[in-house]
Amino acid sequence: MIHFEWPWLFLFIPLPWFFRHFLPAAAPSQEAALRVPFMEEFKEARSSTAHIKIGRRVLWFAFLAWLLLVTAAARPQWLGEPLALPISGRNLMLAVDLSGSMMAEDFELKGQMVNRLLATQAVAGAFIERRVGDRLGLILFGKQAYLQTPLTFDRKTVQTLLHEAVIGLAGQETAIGDAIGLAVKRLKKNKTADQVLILLTDGANTAGEVAPIKAAALAKSEGLKIYTIGIGADEMMVRSFFGTRKVNPSADLDEKTLKAIAEETGGRYFRARNTKEFEEIYKLLDTLEPIEQEKQVFRPRTALYPWPLGVALIIAALVILKRSLPKMRLGNMVQKTGLNQ
């Protein structure tokens, strides 16, 4: 269907009629008399001047051009079929640890050992791609917590900024409490019935101004559910001067605090020791039920104003040309008569 963005502009259609009937006519111009010695040439010139007057047909064409111009100014648009947008109403924030311990290469990805951040970027990136309809945000934390991406439906941007994250960008330590506090602050401005924070870390809270448990209590009061993920293998082989030995790269992981945070807010704690477990955790998180809201409908719009505008300009050009031709012929006649003298 056709829709006009500014239909009130059609009120200007009678404007030319108003000017013609209510404004005073222009004073006749005082032109010098033209002396023509030959009567026949004078008659021909007089018949040419008669064509200068605009006839009814030209007036109707001029009015049609004005009507099309007003139509174009009203911004006609073609509205397409309604398209339902997949909106769940969930605000989902991801908080990713960038402390120095994320450099540990204890995850396998495509047959190669990679550090924890690369594994997170691969698995969490796929998770972000599947979250159609959620408002997603990204927090990066180390010694300090930073909001990298505010809540948005643009999953591609969130993915890109996650993959651009660098270990140590936010400091070498870990401020879990500050990351939760920042999430509460940002989600508080965009409240819905379902607020979720997925917090991923491989260590313990060693920095920041807010204790993790206190931050969890604040999150609970704001209705924020927190899912915590402890990342890191339980054991790995390390070569040294004395040979190869087995170590626990996740010795610093504070699982007790992460479990307490999840329980306090009604969430759940997960443990990711390898890439397969990591992927299973995010698949499990995919089962979160979306909040039902009124469907939002989008109708694609196509601008149509160039068509009436183009036709109006063509008609206006023809009207101007119609008025100019008799004057040009009269001028040529006068010039010819003067030369004959």
Tokens of 176: 């879990």
Q: Give the residue-averaged pLDDT of 106-114.
A: 85
Binning pLDDT at 50, 70 and 90, where does residue 283 land?
confident
Tell whether 225 and 148 lie within a shared domain. yes
Check residues 85 and 43 and name the one with the higher pLDDT: 85
Is the pTM above the cut of 0.75? no
- What's the total number of domains in the chain? 2
Tell whether 192 and 309 lie within a shared domain. no
276 pLDDT above the threshold of 50: yes
Tell whether 193 and 288 lie within a shared domain. yes
Tell whether 182 and 307 lie within a shared domain. no
Tell whether 135 and 260 lie within a shared domain. yes
Question: Does 24 map to a domain?
Answer: no
CATH code of residue 160:
3.40.50.410
Question: Does 28 map to a domain?
Answer: no
277 pLDDT above the threshold of 50: yes
205-233 pLDDT per residue, tens: 999 899 999 999 999 999 999 999 999 88
Distance of CA 77 to CAs 13, 83, 98, 294, 314, Å? 19, 17, 49, 26, 21
pLDDT given at position 257: 94
8 A C-beta contact, residue 183 and residue 265 = no
Tell whether 185 and 317 lie within a shared domain. no
Question: Does 32 map to a domain?
Answer: no
137 pLDDT above the threshold of 70: yes
Tell whether 199 and 317 lie within a shared domain. no
Give the DSSP letter string of 31-50.
PPP---S-HHHHHHHHHHHG
Q: Give the residue-averaged pLDDT of 255-261.
A: 94
Tell whether 51 and 121 lie within a shared domain. no
Tell whether 277 and 189 lie within a shared domain. yes
User: Identity (one letter) of the amino acid at 213?
Assistant: I
Question: Does 17 map to a domain?
Answer: no
pLDDT given at position 267: 92
Question: Does 198 map to a domain?
Answer: yes
Domain ranges, residue 186: 87-295
| Lowest-confidence segment of 1-5, 18-22, 24-28, 259-263 by average pLDDT | 24-28
Question: Does 178 map to a domain?
Answer: yes
